[in-house]
């Protein structure tokens, strides 16, 4: 077989192996999130599959040193890759049901089953390099040079396989079609090799049928990545799987990735401001400062803008106060403007990660809201002592920083760690356990403040106003922050994902 064919096949195989890993992370992220632990499980199992493939590939190379065997292996890997988009959805839907019915065995089983979907194609791709080296090497004295060259070619393919899905294929075609594109390319290369070897008559029509089927699946209407009720829009962006659902009364909700949380809400009635959720609590934060009146709120920063619900609330309650909304995903910003009426003239949108924005902005804020979630995780860089110190440098003397976090009925370790961390930077920290939810809103003030001042000031607000309704929500649940034995998060050590996963595991096990 021509040397150029080996180069192409090795390159495409390396590209496909890394492409599968990148696609797998997005496929799992839409159901399980994208925590450090999900990545660890995924990468670890991929490496196990490749190791198994390398081991078996060496044995196959010695026993069946045939170009046809090589092409059959890569062709089989292509077919197995093409099956993943069609098999995975039912397994992943099982995981959602497992969470809803609080079944830890079904949840973990579905996660393992989904990851095992990649065992066959990745293991088969691991066979490619040992077998190709055996076929190309004719002189032992040149074996080192040949094997090094082939591994370099495979690695170059892997480099392309890491960037191509993330920067172009997934945002443009979606994760499932990206699987199919890799499968079609790999099968086409395998078919080219079989064609050159003058295969048996049965091979040609069968191979052509398979390739035509792969190409045909690229033209199919695959529908949404997940089947959820009342879906009116969905999109796979660089960062998220974005879903918009609309209720019969016209209310819209923004759902991201695994869909276990609502990130924004829109009401067709413009006068409907409060949501009954933790977002309402942010409106009360400035009242910790003695003598505060609404006209003294001069600028607000929101890290985690999403569809603009918080910005809409502040605009309705405090008027056209300048708001800087920071959102890392430009596609979410577009969705917010199109489906959530995120068009307030006082809202200045910054498409950027929250941490670099705070580090580089020259603005000063009376309140900074941190509501950035890669559900169910808060990005660790937005929870550390260093981050809150940066926020402090951009707060006015009467400034307040607010953040939403979570707990179970009995486990408040994550809340305690957030309080402990913020207490190293701010003189006063408060917590609000939102009734009938797992949310806790944490607020910290630049100046020493008290619950008595907070209660006294909100008690004077007209109860018929929106702020009066907020007061009725927050006053019964405000508490002084108690760090307890909470871990102080730093840029060097912030085990927020470990704590969050422990909360999640307790929940799916049915523990309070």
Q: Note whether 437 and 278 are within 8 A (CB).
A: yes
The domains of the chain, with CATH numbers, are: 3-218 (1.20.1250), 270-508 (3.40.50.150)
In whole angstroms, give the CA distance from residue 382 to residue 72: 49
CA atoms within 13 A on the CB side of 296: 14
More confident residue, 512 or 141: 141
pLDDT tens string 130-148: 998 888 877 667 778 888 8
In whole angstroms, give the CA distance from residue 54 to residue 509: 38
Residue from 298, 291, 292, 327 nearest 310 by CA: 327
Classify burial at 248, counting beta carbons within 10 Å of its beta carbon; exposed 0-12, middle 13-18, buried 19 or more. Answer: exposed
Over the chain, what is the mean pLDDT? 86
Count of CB atoms situated within 10 Å of the CB of 197: 13
- Sequence-separated (6 or more) residues with CB below 8 Å from residue 509: 102, 104
Q: Note whether 432 and 479 are within 8 A (CB).
A: yes
Helix ranges, 197-234 (H): 203-218
Q: Quote the tokens at residue 69.
A: 């065997």
Residue from 420, 474, 414 nearest 279 by CA: 474
> For residue 346, what is the DSSP state?
T
pLDDT tens string 87-134: 877 666 665 554 444 444 445 555 566 667 789 999 999 999 999 888
Query: Directed axis angle between helix 104-116 and helix 67-100, to 10°?
Result: 160
pLDDT tens string 439-482: 999 999 999 999 999 999 999 999 999 999 999 999 999 999 98
| pLDDT at site 494 | 87
DSSP code per residue over 269-311: STT----SSGGGGGGGGGGGSTT--GGG---EEEES-TTSHHH
More confident residue, 91 or 402: 402
266, β-bridge pairs: 252
Catalytic one of 371, 411, 462, 491: 371
In whole angstroms, give the CA distance from residue 101 to residue 107: 10
| pLDDT at site 349 | 97
Over residues 207-223, the mean pLDDT reads 65
Range with the lowest mean pLDDT among 206-220, 464-478, 485-499? 206-220
User: Cα dist. 304→33, 244, 330, 418, 445 in Å?
Assistant: 17, 17, 12, 17, 20
In whole angstroms, give the CA distance from residue 51 to residue 123: 8
pTM of the model: 0.76
Over residues 52-75, the mean pLDDT reads 92
In whole angstroms, give the CA distance from residue 91 to residue 95: 7
| Confidence class for position 437, pLDDT limits 50, 70, 90 | confident
pLDDT tens string 354-385: 999 999 999 999 999 999 877 667 888 899 99
492 is annotated as an active-site residue? no
Q: Quote the tokens at residue 444.
A: 């910290």
In whole angstroms, give the CA distance from residue 510 to residue 104: 8
């Amino acid at each position: 077989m021509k040397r150029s064919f080996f180069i192409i096949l090795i390159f495409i195989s390396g590209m496909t192996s890394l492409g599968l890993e990148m696609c797998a992370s997005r496929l799992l992220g839409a159901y399980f999130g994208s925590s450090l632990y999900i990545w660890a499980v995924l990468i670890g199992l991929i490496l196990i599959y490749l190791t198994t493939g390398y081991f078996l590939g060496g044995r196959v190379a010695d026993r069946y040193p045939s170009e046809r065997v090589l092409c059959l292996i890569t062709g089989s890997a292509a077919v197995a890759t093409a099956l993943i988009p069609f098999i995975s959805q039912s397994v992943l839907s099982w995981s959602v049901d497992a969470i809803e019915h609080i079944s830890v065995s079904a949840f973990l089983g579905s996660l393992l089953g989904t990851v095992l979907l990649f065992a066959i194609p990745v293991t088969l791709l691991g066979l490619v390099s040992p077998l190709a080296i055996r076929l190309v090497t004719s002189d032992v004295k040149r074996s080192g040079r040949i094997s090094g060259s082939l591994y370099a070619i495979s690695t170059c393919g892997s480099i392309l396989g890491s960037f191509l899905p993330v920067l172009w294929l997934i945002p443009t075609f979606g994760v499932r079609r990206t699987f199919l594109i890799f499968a079609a390319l790999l099968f086409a290369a395998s078919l080219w090799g079989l064609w050159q070897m003058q295969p048996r008559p049965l091979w040609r029509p069968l191979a052509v049928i398979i390739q035509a089927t792969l190409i045909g699946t690229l033209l199919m209407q695959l529908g949404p990545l997940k089947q959820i009720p009342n879906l009116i829009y969905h999109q796979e962006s660089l960062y998220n799987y974005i879903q918009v659902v609309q209720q019969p009364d016209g209310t819209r909700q923004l759902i991201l990735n695994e869909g276990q949380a609502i990130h924004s809400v829109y009401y067709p009635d413009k006068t409907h401001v409060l949501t009954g959720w933790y977002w309402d609590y942010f409106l009360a934060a400035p009242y910790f400062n003695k003598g505060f009146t609404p006209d003294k709120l001069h600028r607000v920063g929101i890290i985690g803008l999403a569809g603009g619900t918080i910005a809409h609330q502040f605009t309705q309650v405090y008027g056209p106060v300048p708001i800087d909304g920071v959102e890392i995903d430009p596609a979410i910003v577009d969705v917010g403007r199109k489906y959530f009426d995120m068009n307030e003239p006082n809202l200045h949108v910054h498409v950027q990660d929250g941490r670099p924005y705070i580090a580089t902005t020259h603005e000063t804020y009376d309140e900074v809201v941190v509501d950035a979630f890669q559900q169910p995780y808060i990005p660790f860089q937005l929870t550390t002592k260093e981050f809150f110190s940066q926020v402090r440098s951009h707060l006015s003397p009467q400034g307040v920083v607010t953040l939403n976090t979570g707990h179970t009925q009995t486990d408040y370790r994550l809340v305690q760690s957030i309080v402990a961390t913020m207490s190293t930077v701010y003189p006063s920290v408060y917590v609000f356990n939102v009734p009938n939810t797992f949310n806790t809103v944490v607020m910290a003030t630049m100046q020493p403040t008290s619950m008595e001042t907070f209660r006294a000031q909100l008690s004077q607000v007209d109860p018929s106003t929106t702020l009066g309704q907020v007061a009725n929500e927050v006053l019964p649940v405000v508490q002084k922050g108690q760090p307890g034995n909470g871990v102080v998060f730093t840029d060097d050590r912030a085990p927020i994902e470990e704590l969050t996963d422990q909360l999640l595991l307790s929940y799916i096990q049915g523990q309070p």
